[in-house]
Every structure is written in structure tokens, then in C-alpha cells.
Amino acid sequence: MPSMTKHDILSPVAASDSLNQQVSQIAILGTGLLGASLGLGLRAARFRGSIIGYGRRMATVERAKALGCIDQATTNLAEAVDGCELVVMATPVGVFTSLLERLADCGHPSLVITDVGSTKQQVCSDADRLLPNPTYFIGSHPMAGSERQGPDAAIKDLFDDKSCIMTPSKHTSPAATSLVQQLWGSLGMNVIQMSSAEHDQKVACVSHLPHAIAAMLMRLADQWDATQIASSGFRDTTRLASGDPTVWTDIFKTNRKQVIKAVDALALELQQFRKLLVDHADDNLELQLQQCKKMRDKWALEPEGDE
Amino acid sequence: MPSMTKHDILSPVAASDSLNQQVSQIAILGTGLLGASLGLGLRAARFRGSIIGYGRRMATVERAKALGCIDQATTNLAEAVDGCELVVMATPVGVFTSLLERLADCGHPSLVITDVGSTKQQVCSDADRLLPNPTYFIGSHPMAGSERQGPDAAIKDLFDDKSCIMTPSKHTSPAATSLVQQLWGSLGMNVIQMSSAEHDQKVACVSHLPHAIAAMLMRLADQWDATQIASSGFRDTTRLASGDPTVWTDIFKTNRKQVIKAVDALALELQQFRKLLVDHADDNLELQLQQCKKMRDKWALEPEGDE
């Protein structure tokens, strides 16, 4: 599937104009870091419609409202989506299935639904299975975030100049794809399209495995009583281990197969590295480190996402 | 062995005064990032003696001189150490053995020698074996650095408020230990003492293994064609992969056994993590992630080294 960047489609301003023409009301389901930042970002991008925030805990939704992230706060899903043209699921991934079940009941048939989840195959297949009209669902993964949590961590330019992966299914309508592209485009995101399967495989490698490794390195350092002498290299390598355990458990649960594949691939790399050490194959080791440095330096020069 | 922080010993100013009383000339062997930063740092800490820079390539040493990191530049080792009370080996670890052999010939018997290497067992045993008077050698590992290289990357406060591990052997004299403590103390470092064996085991875990993992994750991402969607989490986790391949090959060569042990421990962690996924033991997985987050958050609040 061809990828699409914001340069291929509309400028942020044009995307925002188009969004304003089609959408008078957006519901954001979940007002944590991502949901609340989405609200702030939409306002900064001159979205003129209403932004309804929904969550299970009134305190969190009210806090998001007090911070100016949303216009209205509710813990009633039917109320939240009533009158909306667009809904963004911004809860932890593990809540998506039950949200979709309930949206199937209370959403009107042409309500466009997307999400911000870090895994895509499960939510896309749930949408196909559960929604009365799955043509209006398209998965999104805005590659933005931080290890901080909650509406107080929200920032208006969290999404700006980052990548957003959209994963249309064979059912997704061009109209839904276009509308959700305008949503992310208005926030200054670079939109890339791929299948949910390709997405889940790639993020297993560059996001989920690094998270697991960060946690494991932290455990090891603790077991070896070595954190006292750990320094900034260790700090960077283990930063992801400070992420929300519930969010990450959901991610691992919903991308189990691909994460296992990535773990196996890394185990093989570890074996090969160990063999180089045992064999005193130091020239080969240096060559490999050179190749890795080259890849890293080249990649680090490219524009980045942020998560 | 009890650890020692700068609070137990002298303040940076007192350490600098004491250093000035005992040392009129220091030789820095190798004027890359660490050696050149050491020169700048000494000058900023009001060291009044001469700083002689030695290296194999005159261009690099001259560059360090032009940048004000050293007072004199030479490619002649005997000339460099002549008249010095203190020598700091700041070349890649792989050069230490031949430097010690040559210092055994040209250094005077009470010349205090230390180093800035990331591995300590080999250099300490080489010093014991090669130097006519090993009581004047003590290993140092200032936990400071960056992935940048060369004298142009030098900064005067590279060492300030970072940890420095000193690894005295059973031969090391209290006078040498004290002098080298004053050297690092004058730069504002927190000095910790431990055996070279303990040092090498712990850095294998918190520095060398994370470096190897960073390189492996980079290779995997490239193989899986996934770097396009990698974001800041991946950026942090792989930052170490941009380090100098020669320097790191030397480190792995001189800490082979401990790195292999660390690799094996991580392989076991990976297996356990895989089993949690395969068994759908999601509650246990979440519990582990919670524990790791707790450790990481606690550690991240502590003062850090930088490397």
C-alpha cells in the first residue's frame, strides 16, 4: 500500500478548514495524555466545533475540561457521541473492544470512528466484527506520547510534525479515510498508511520490544546491584520502563504474536553476539558495530516520531 | 570496600588546592573527548601546573592545544611524561597495555598513573604485571562521556557532578589513591571505590550490555524495514549504538567474560518474558512491569553519572 505524507495531501491549514466544514462536534473517549493533548491540539489548529470529553472517572474528565482540553465533560457514552460526526477512542487499548460494542448501540450509522492505539490488528478486526457499519471505522496510531500520564501532562503540540499511521481495512470507506486524514493533518502530522498487520509487526520491533528490553535491563541492574553506577546511557536505554504498566500490558496482550516473533529475533541476535565474544571474533564484532552505528546515524538524521 | 563520595573527602576547591600543591605537571595521554575535556576541566578548576597532551596523531594533539585543552602537544611519550608527577591514560582501552609497557621504560619510579577506561580488570592486572612500581597505579573510570568524539567535542564540565569509580589493587599506595582522588574531586566528581572485578561486573550490566542491545535493536529494525515508523522511544533506546565502534570493541574485548554473563542473564529474562506472553500470564506480566517501573522511577530520581 502506498504511504502518504502530509505533503501528498492537505497542508495543516487546509486540513483544518476541511475538518471544520465537515465536523461540528468531536467526541474524545478517554482524556489522558493523548486524548487531552488531542483536544488542546485541535483548538490550537482552529477547530471551531465542540469537543466532548468522555471518561469513566468524572474527576479526570472534569480536570481535562478545567485545563481547556475539552468543552464538555461526561461519563455517559451515548451523551458524548450524540450529535458527533467523529469519535476518537483515546483510552488504553484494552478498553477498545467494550467501547466498540457500546458504540455499535449508541452511535449513528455514519459516525466516523478512529482510535489512537499502539496496536492495530485487534481494534480493526473488532470494529469489522462489532460495528453495524464498519466502513466508517479506520485505525490510527499517532506516533506521539511520553512516559507521563493524565490530562495534566497534555501539550498542544504533542502531535505536531510526528508520524501518524492509518490502517484502513478492506471495508473502510474513502470518505472515512479522508476525514481522519484531515483530523491528523490539521495537527501537523505526517500520515502514513499501511495494513494493520504490517503496522503491528513493525511496532513490535521498534516500540514493543524496546519497551520490554528496557524493563528487563532495569530488573537485571537491580538484581546485580549495579544501579548505583549506572549513568545516562542506561538512563536513555531504560526510559521506556517508566511507561504505564496497564497501558503496556494491554499493548503486549493485543500484539502477542508479533512481540513473540520480535523476542525470538532478538534472542537470535543475542546468541550471535555471544558467539562473536566467545570465538574472539573481534574484527567481525567491530564490523558489526560499525554497520549498526552507520544505520543509527543515518536514521537519527531523519525526521522523527515521538513516543 | 567502603565507597567514598566527595562529601567524605575534600570539596572541589580543597581538592584543587591540594592537587596544585603536589602536582606541577600532568600528562594526558590521548586528547579525544575525554582527554581534552579533562584538560579543559582542570583549567576551569584552577589547576596551575602544565598540562601536556600526548597522542599518536600530531593533528589531533595540536587541535586540542588550539582549543585550549592542553598547554603542550607532543607525539613523544618520554617527552610527555618527563617532569610529570601524574599521568592519565585517556586513549581507547585497547592501547593501555602498550602504553603501560612504554611507561615502564620512560616514567620515573614515583610517577602516579591512572586511566579513564571503561573496563578495569585488564588495565589493573597489566599495571601490576608491567610497571616496575605498581604501587603508583590506580584505575579510574569517570562515568562521563557522550557518543561524540574528538577534541572538538570536549566540554569543561563533562565530569562535574558525575560519578568516578576508582579501583585500587592490593598494591596501590594510599598516596597514589589520595592524589588521584584529588584529581577527580577537583573536577567535582563523586568518587566511589570498588574492586576492579566488581566494577567490571556491574558495568557489563548497566553499560556494556545496553550498548550491545542498542546495536542489536538497530540491526533488527533495519532487517524488519521498520525504522520509518520508529520514534523517540526507539531513538533513546538505541542512542548508544552511535558510539565509536573501535572504542566499544576494545571494551567488549577487555570485559569479555562479564559481558557474556550479562548476555546470558538477559537471554534468561527474554525467555521468561516470552513465557509470560505464550502462557497469557497477563496479570504476572503487568506485575513485573509495575515492579520495573517502580525501580526505574526510583533510580531516575537519584543523581546520575553521564556516559
pLDDT in tens, A265-305: 999 999 999 999 999 999 999 999 999 999 999 998 875 54
Q: Do B245 and A209 touch (CB under 8 A)?
A: no
User: Alpha-carbon torsion A41, A47, A48, A54, what sign?
Assistant: negative
- Please tell me which residue of chain A has the smallest CA distance to B148: A297
Give the pLDDT mean for B107-135: 94
The answer to whether A90 touches A77, Cβ cutoff 8 Å, is: no
Residue A234 in contact with partner chain B when CB distance is under 8 A: yes
- Cα–Cα distances in Å, from A83 out to A23, A50, A208? 10, 10, 37
Q: What is the mean pLDDT of chain A?
A: 93
> In percent, how much of chain A has pLDDT > 90?
86
- Does the pLDDT value for residue B307 go beyond 60? no
pLDDT band at B303 (very low <50, low <70, confident <90, very high): low
Task: Give the pLDDT of residue B108.
Answer: 86
Residue B279 in contact with partner chain A when CB distance is under 8 A: no
Angle at which helices B58-66 and B33-44 cross, to 10°: 30
- Cα–Cα distances in Å, from A127 out to A29, A134, A139? 16, 6, 9
d(CA A113, CA A84): 10
Task: Give the pLDDT of residue B10.
Answer: 79
Q: How far is A135 from chain B (nearest CA, A)?
A: 26
Q: Do B233 and A253 touch (CB under 8 A)?
A: no
- Cα–Cα distances in Å, from A40 out to A61, A68, A164? 14, 7, 17
CA angle (B57 as vertex; B52, B62 as ends), nearest 5: 50
- Which residues does chain B have within 8 Å of residue A232's beta carbon, measured at their own beta carbons? 304-307
The answer to whether B89 touches B30, Cβ cutoff 8 Å, is: yes
Give the pLDDT mean for B171-200: 96
Q: Would you give the end-to-end CA distance of chain B in angstroms?
A: 24
- Does the pLDDT value for residue B174 go beyond 70? yes
User: Of A55, A35, A239, A241, which Cα lies nearest the Cα of A142?
Assistant: A35
- Does the pLDDT value for residue B85 go beyond 80? yes
Residues 6+ apart with CB under 8 A from A300: B235, B242
Q: Do B263 and A286 touch (CB under 8 A)?
A: no
Assigned C-alpha cell, B68: 585550549
The answer to whether B273 touches B173, Cβ cutoff 8 Å, is: no
Residues A109-135 as b/e (b if ≥16 CB within 10 A, e otherwise) read eebbbbbbbbbbbbbbebbbebbebbb
d(CA B288, CA B198): 27
CB contacts < 8 Å between A and B, how many?
297
The type of residue at B227 is: T
d(CA B210, CA B219): 14
Task: Give the pLDDT of residue A9.
Answer: 64
pLDDT band at A7 (very low <50, low <70, confident <90, very high): very low
Look at the block and give the residue holding cell 503487568.
B286
Assigned C-alpha cell, B256: 569479555
Assigned C-alpha cell, A34: 493523548
The type of residue at B263 is: V
Give the pLDDT mean for B20-26: 97
Task: Name the CA radius of gyration of chain A, rounded.
Answer: 21
What digits encode the pLDDT tens for the residues A123-152?
A: 999 999 999 999 999 999 999 887 678 999
Give the pLDDT mean for A193-203: 97
d(CA A48, CA A155): 19
Look at the block and give the residue holding cell 501528498.
A8
Give the pLDDT mean for B295-301: 92
Assigned C-alpha cell, A21: 466544514
Assigned C-alpha cell, A231: 549513568
Q: Are strands A72-74 and A50-54 parallel, antiparallel or unpaired?
A: parallel
Give the pLDDT mean for B86-115: 94
pTM of the model: 0.85
Give the pLDDT mean for A103-115: 92
pLDDT band at B293 (very low <50, low <70, confident <90, very high): very high
d(CA A263, CA A266): 5
DSSP conformational letter for A147? S
Residues 6+ apart with CB under 8 A from A83: A24, A25
Residues 6+ apart with CB under 8 A from A8: none
What are the strands of the beta sheet with A86-89, ordered from one edge?
A: A72-74, A50-54, A25-29, A86-89, A112-115
Look at the block and give the residue holding cell 579543559.
B40
The answer to whether A141 touches A159, Cβ cutoff 8 Å, is: no
Assigned C-alpha cell, A165: 499511521
Q: Do A260 and B266 touch (CB under 8 A)?
A: no
Residue B158, classed as helix, strand or coil, is coil
The type of residue at B123 is: V
Look at the block and give the residue holding cell 479522508.
A178
Q: Tell me the longest C-alpha to C-alpha distance in chain B.
A: 68
DSSP conformational letter for A156? T
What digits encode the pLDDT tens for the residues A23-69?
A: 999 999 999 999 999 999 999 999 999 999 999 999 999 999 999 99
What digits encode the pLDDT tens for the residues B201-253?
A: 999 999 999 999 999 999 999 999 999 888 888 999 999 999 889 989 999 99
Task: Give the pLDDT of residue A120.
Answer: 97
Residues A239-260 as b/e (b if ≥16 CB within 10 A, e otherwise) read bbbbbbbebbbbbbbbbbebbb
What digits encode the pLDDT tens for the residues A211-236?
A: 999 999 999 999 999 998 888 889 99
pLDDT band at A8 (very low <50, low <70, confident <90, very high): low
Residues B160-175 as b/e (b if ≥16 CB within 10 A, e otherwise) read bbbbbbbbbbebbbee
- Which residues does chain B have within 8 Å of residue A265's beta carbon, measured at their own beta carbons? 220, 223-224
- Which residues does chain B have within 8 Å of residue A165's beta carbon, measured at their own beta carbons? 229
pLDDT band at A192 (very low <50, low <70, confident <90, very high): very high
- Does the pLDDT value for residue A172 go beyond 80? yes
Beta bridge partners of A52: A27, A72
d(CA A138, CA A271): 40
Task: Give the pLDDT of residue B7.
Answer: 45
- Please tell me which residue of chain A has the smallest CA distance to B249: A286
CB atoms within 10 A of CB A98: 12
Give the pLDDT mean for A101-115: 93
DSSP-assigned states of every residue in A217-264:
HHHHHHHTT-GGG--HHHHHHTGGGGS-HHHHHHHHHHTHHHHHHHHH
Task: Give the pLDDT of residue B8.
Answer: 55
- Please tell me which residue of chain B has the smallest CA distance to A247: B286
Task: Give the pLDDT of residue A1.
Answer: 42
Domains assigned to chain B: 12-194 (3.40.50.720), 199-300 (1.10.3660.10)
